């Protein structure tokens, strides 16, 4: 079974709680976990499986997704492209 690095898991649990406004006890209840288990995940004493993290997120009305890791150069390139598109749009005649 896949596990998530404990530091990342704790960060995800904090972010899920922050975004949802839920306390650990409610997050655990909604995910079908004991509060002590969620607390252990949040403190890095246990490592949750990917499935457990997905249940925690889903219980808070969120979902886990994989996304490309964009480095600074990629973000700067995307910003330049957006700037060119906006410049082009501004140069077009208005109706």
End-to-end CA distance of the chain: 59
* 5-61 per-position pLDDT tens digit: 558 899 999 999 999 999 999 999 999 999 999 999 999 899 999 999 999 999 999
Angle between helices 24-31 and 35-43 (to 10 degrees): 120
Residue 72's pLDDT band (cuts 50, 70, 90): confident
88: pLDDT strictly greater than 80? yes
62 Cβ neighbours under 8 A, 6+ residues apart: 16, 19, 20
Would the pTM count as exceeding 0.85? no
Written as six digits, the tokens of 6 are 């404990």
């Amino acid at each position: 079974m896949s596990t998530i690095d404990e530091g990342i898991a704790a960060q995800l649990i904090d972010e899920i709680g922050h975004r949802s406004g839920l306390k650990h006890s409610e997050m655990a209840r909604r995910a079908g976990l004991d509060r002590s288990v969620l607390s252990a995940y949040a403190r890095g004493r246990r490592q949750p499986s990917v499935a457990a993290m997905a249940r925690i997120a889903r219980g808070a009305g969120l979902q886990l997704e994989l996304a490309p890791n964009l480095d600074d150069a990629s973000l700067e390139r995307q910003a330049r492209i957006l700037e060119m598109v906006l410049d082009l749009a501004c140069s077009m005649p208005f109706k």
